[in-house]
Structure 1
């Protein structure tokens, strides 16, 4: 497909990198020569210097032949105007990043489709929802919903006292015959391992396990860490992400005890007036005395989402030192994510990656359930439908030669979801969930045709 990306910033760069590796014809348009030069030097894509709000520049960049336009500049108005013109010029799928919530509100006078936007991406909301999923599953460092929520892929860190240390994956499965699950990947000392039955679990491994959602708490208990329920949440930062988290949690049926700390007095007052069920405090979230006074030692989860990533990391480390059960830090540098647990954090979220993942999923709609950056792993969870005469049907999975870097996780058939085993057989029209490293995506896709 021919894809034009408006904006050569971090999201645009990451998308261009992902999509070019999948052999799409990618063109990046931006006015910033320096940002474009970085793209040109590192990626195999075309770059065009121009104004995204100019129809002439869009046409010159090839918009009339484009299948998809992705507008991800840092300015909402530029993204909206570029989207509207691109749709008028015949682009079939228009995806735009818009920070403002005006277009997504139920009673908004102007809808995203009125501006030619087919898919609206809100980076802050994407990151906020990811954080909420993590605090609802206290022991997880990563969590992806699959099969419309019927299955989940969960990341769990193995402590040195875990009963699983030293066991092979076969022994792990045999020890819990009543649970159906599959370990699809292991992150170990900056290495990604696609395991088999003989692979042994080591202390500090990060296991990625796929299972039905209703048994995930039991899966967590097998690692030696119970899935503790969190109720008391402290949020550092009244940023858009912090406000969204507080707003969503305070509106749920479950009664969360929420405190939000914001250093800017005007923002704190505004949030206090809006969030009636949230205790909003004006102060420095990295101040140990303030945290102690406000009862951080009695807090279940500490979430730091200020605009300063160093402050987020430091305040989460302080919270962890004070034995807070779950800490989540917002970081702007994706390189920090694999290091997060090494230095003592439970989880780190990057809003640019969250937005990039969501956009990538829509680009490949129909077979991709989710595209995500896991801890230390660039991986995709893709959903493929088996064609009637494909190479994967009518034989046990263990007899199929899958490409390196792929594991079959689950099979969806007639509305039911089941974890795949070596004896499972894929039938025509089954939807199959595959955990896959990026370099193997095209190979595994071809097997299902």
Structure 2
């Protein structure tokens, strides 16, 4: 390392980490609230100090600290007291959360403790608040090594995600040595976790047995790994977001939609990991089962780790968090108030006009809440039969009830467009249709 004064080192560290943070967040998020997950160790204490320094400079919004007490080893009380004292001195709001019923002697303790810690922190987040985690470049490299030997997930090549929904990792661009140097120059207090030396844990075995050999042989391994990870991330993103394949992807705050006749396993993996409550977990086999089921006409819902769910309808695949509240209730309520005369006065569409309306829906910010995109067919029974309309959709049960009560039939945008094209000689040039997303516009602001 170059010999730099503490002032010069701080300036360079801040410049580098701030630029990196700006690449994984937007200004609106930065001006909002920030919760830092702090264990009392070197990495998280430096991250908390860094976040509070940015807040004092007016670069980000208010910062608070979350300490999770696992009650599984001696010394955690002292860890919590260290964090609490630091927060009091720096004027940082402090909150301690407690894990119940966890024992260090159980199998796969590290993974279970990590999951509990993550759940507690996420559940404690305020609206539009980001959660900061202290993982750095060394952590990412260690995770990369472990995952490569026990997982087929392509994201193992990238390492720990720098952004995972509301979780950000601003120190993913710096090394452990750089963080330790910052702590020394700035006098940032921290405590060492004695279990960090216990070789029964995979992470410690990799850290103290394997990596020293790599470092001795390849001193610049982290430098080359960071470039490799950045390139891999770029390639994954290019593959996932590519519109040149047989399916197109539309990304929203609540989830993503794939439209097409063939879905890429890589695309689906990336989407699930992006929106999931966890960045770990084997999902390739469940994805393969889902794709086989879709080929056999199944719709779902299909469930994945991290609270993720998928639903297929014709050539539309929706991927979202379980419990997503769509516009079913509101559309049903609005639809039930429309008279028959009002329904029959609705506009007629040419096929190209319906295609335009479908593309507009896919580009709207609340499209996910309208998926799979239902359209009322206000035509004769024979036309409804030709289009193979329906009276039930699993994602819109209340709308289905209203339609059944009133003798109304519906179809999805995509199925209507495809059938209209394949049976155009049996269908008129114009159809009287009501895209139910038009009704959602009446209450979307509520």
TM-score by length of 1: 0.24
TM-score by length of 2: 0.24
Structure with larger Rg: 2
- Whose strand fraction is larger, Structure 1's or Structure 2's? 1
- Whose helix fraction is larger, Structure 1's or Structure 2's? 2
